[in-house]
Structure 1
Amino acid sequence: MQGFIIGNNESHFPEGMEQLGQWLKEGKLKSTETILHGFDNLPTVLLGLFNGENTGKMIMSHKLFI
């Protein structure tokens, strides 16, 4: 396995996005995420992020009531 920097492969970005999108549609790639709701959970979200308590992307969701 070898990592890469997107800036080094900028010319291939559209092609890569198309291929990744296709793999997602086919179920060949799976996306995981941890979602916590409520602005009052912000400290928990941040601490969990730095402690590795999330699976995949860590998301904090809240509704803004005006």
Structure 2
Amino acid sequence: MWFPATFYTQVFNTRLLPSALRPSLVQSVMKEAAEGRREAGRNCDNWIFRTKRASTRATWDQSPLANPL
């Protein structure tokens, strides 16, 4: 089905733009994205740090193979 270009322009201007481009909404979404990215980086760094520490700290005496029940 074919619609004239003015129809798309009218629908886009009246429906999509005012709801999608509110400055407060955009700012809140960007802020949440930044917080989530920062949190993900922190968690990733902690995970890498913990696994590296555990792998370097673990010795044969701490292994369950060396200390069977």
TM-score range, shorter chain: under 0.3
User: With structure 1 as the length reference, what TM-score do the two structures score?
Assistant: 0.26
Greater relative CO, 1 or 2 (CA 8 Å, sep 6+): 1
User: With structure 2 as the length reference, what TM-score do the two structures score?
Assistant: 0.25
Structure whose CA Rg is larger = 2
Higher helix proportion (structure 1 or 2): 2
Higher strand proportion (structure 1 or 2): 1
